[in-house]
Each structure stands twice: as C-alpha cells, then as structure tokens.
Homo-oligomer: A and B are copies of this chain.
Amino acid sequence: MEFIGVDWGSTRFRAWALLDDGQIASGVESDLGLKSVADGNFSGALTETCGEMLTGAPGMPILLSGMVGSRTGWKEAPYCACPASIEDVTAAAIRFDIAGHPAAILPGATCVDGNGHADVMRGEEIQIFGAADMLGLKDATICIPGTHAKWASLVGGLLTGFQTHVTGELFALLRGHSLVGQLADGDDEDLDAFRRGIDHGMKKAAAHAVFAARADALQGKLAPKAVSAFLSGVLIGNELAARPQGGMGATILLATGVLAERYAVALEHVGEQFVVVDAKEAARAGQMLAAKTLWQHAAANGEGA
C-alpha cells in the first residue's frame, strides 16, 4: 500500500510518501502550519508544498492527520467514540478528493469518564494503534508525554479509554510565567533534583507540590539551577501517581527525544516496567494501518464486487 501521509498541525506541515514496506520514499517539511494558510486555501497550500511528490504520483491516496481535522482546520472530522478499533477510526474519516487523489482526514478519539466528563485526542490514537502493531500487542497501557500528555488503555485491540494530563503546558506556564519558576536559573538536566521532584509530586496535590520549587529555593534547600528539573519532576510525578495501573499487557512509552529520556527516568524511578516505541515510527506504522483499511480493503472489495 503506497500512499502520501500528511501530519498537518497549527504551526508545522509534514508529508512523506510511504512505500509498501513502510519505508519513506520522499518527504517534505515546512512552517506552513494551518494558521499560516491564506484565505482557507488548504488544497492549494498542500499541492504547492508537496509539489513533485503529488504530481509525480497521480491518483496516489493522501492520508491527513492532526489538527487539520479539527474545528479550526481544513475539514472537521468529529471525534470517534471509545471503545474504538482502528477500523472504527478510519470509518469515521472524512473522505474527499484533492486534485484527482483520493484523500481522507482522520478523526480524533473521545471518551467519557465515570463522572460524565469528556476527554479527547487527535493524532495520538493512530500512534497507539501503530505502536501496538509494531509490538504485536492487543493489550497495553500507553503513555504519550507532551504538552497534553495521554495515558491510554488498549484492550483486545480496542482503544477503551484515556486521560489527558496538561503536564507539558503546566510546566511551560509555571517555569516561564509564574512566581513558582521565578527563582529558576536555566534549565539544566539535574536527575537528582528531578527524582526528588517526582517523589514530592507523587504524594501531594499539584498546586501545593509545585510551590516547593519556590519555598525550597527561598530557604536555600534547592539551588536555582536545580529548580527547573525539580519542577518538571513534581509535575511528572503528579501525573504518574494518577496513571492507570494494574491493567493487562505491557506499558508502552510512546515518545521521542528528550521527553522519552525524561519519562524513562521517571517510570524507572517509580518502578514501572515499560517498552519504548519511537513516536514518529509509531505514527507512520499507524498511518500505514489506516491507509490499508481505507483504500486497500476498499480496492479489494471493489475488485471482488
């Protein structure tokens, strides 16, 4: 199944042509995020940015994911409700035509907790299905760190539910714009301070625990250069204390780069066994699954009809 995968967010555009074996034949990346598209001409922006990748492969399917499917994107693809399989997700895709290419925008996923409150994700669900496929797993607990970190449960191949934690966004706000982060000097990696932060955040409410980053610094118990790492630890520890535990299957840390390293340290520190899967590889693996479901099955059905 060859196709063009597009990850289109608010500030970044990424596209790649994927071969049958999941290898990348070509790729393009630009700053042409959704916010930068003039006059809502998303079609023009896409074809112009992809250029030869599109014109050289007439009729090749285009799979779009990310904020491109949100209310403020190109076309809204309403969230698919949990429990959901990869087939449920792709069935909810918005299908249309881009300059002769069959195209689909993937929806996000939504779930409702025991108190009736909603949760949403957009893009992570494809990474989750991709990671599980890479590992050959049907049951897993998946942690995806980030601005809005996700903890998801996969049971029998179905995404049954998930919780968002705005850990990354809180860290950025508190580190950069609050009295809590005011005494920080730089953002050194300090694993000792980070682990002490995790211990504190595991035990105390977040709005209280973060204040130790200020109070300890004022009282000479925390060096200004260690404040940032400590604060990061407090917030991640608070997230880990609320993580789903005791589920079936492995715990997958789905991440890349610094965040992958940081969460690996944190999960080890709290004694959680886990497998790391690269987030970008998982995204491609998930897109491959989705593309097959969307076009290969359809083509096979068409041939059989």
Contacts and interface: CB of A to CB of B under 8 A. Distances in A.
Contact of A216 (B118, B148, B170, B211): B118
Given A169-B179, A179-B169, A180-B166, A118 B205 contact: no
B200 A164 contact: no
Q: How many copies does the complex hold?
A: 2
B206 A178 contact: no
A179 B148 contact: yes
A71 B183 CA distance: 12
A235 interface: yes
A118 B206 contact: no
Interface in A160-207: 163-167, 169-170, 173-174, 177-180, 199-200, 203-207
Give the interface residue-count category, chain A: 35 or more
A84 interface: no
Nearest to A121: B215
A207 B177 contact: no
B119 A164 contact: no
A199 B116 CA distance: 11
Interface in A127-184: 147-148, 163-167, 169-170, 173-174, 177-180
B211 A166 contact: yes
A166 B210 contact: yes
Contact of A118 (B110, B210, B221, B242): B221
B118 A207 contact: no
A169 B165 contact: no
Contacts of A210: 166
A89 interface: no
Given A166-B178, A208-B242, 10 more contacts: A79-B218, A115-B203, A116-B221, A117-B200, A117-B215, A118-B212, A120-B219, A164-B208, A166-B179, A169-B178
24 contacts: A79-B218, A110-B215, A110-B219, A117-B215, A117-B216, A118-B212, A118-B215, A118-B219, A118-B221, A119-B211, A119-B215, A120-B218, A166-B178, A166-B210, A166-B211, A167-B207, A169-B178, A173-B173, A173-B174, A173-B177, A205-B239, A205-B242, A206-B207, A208-B239
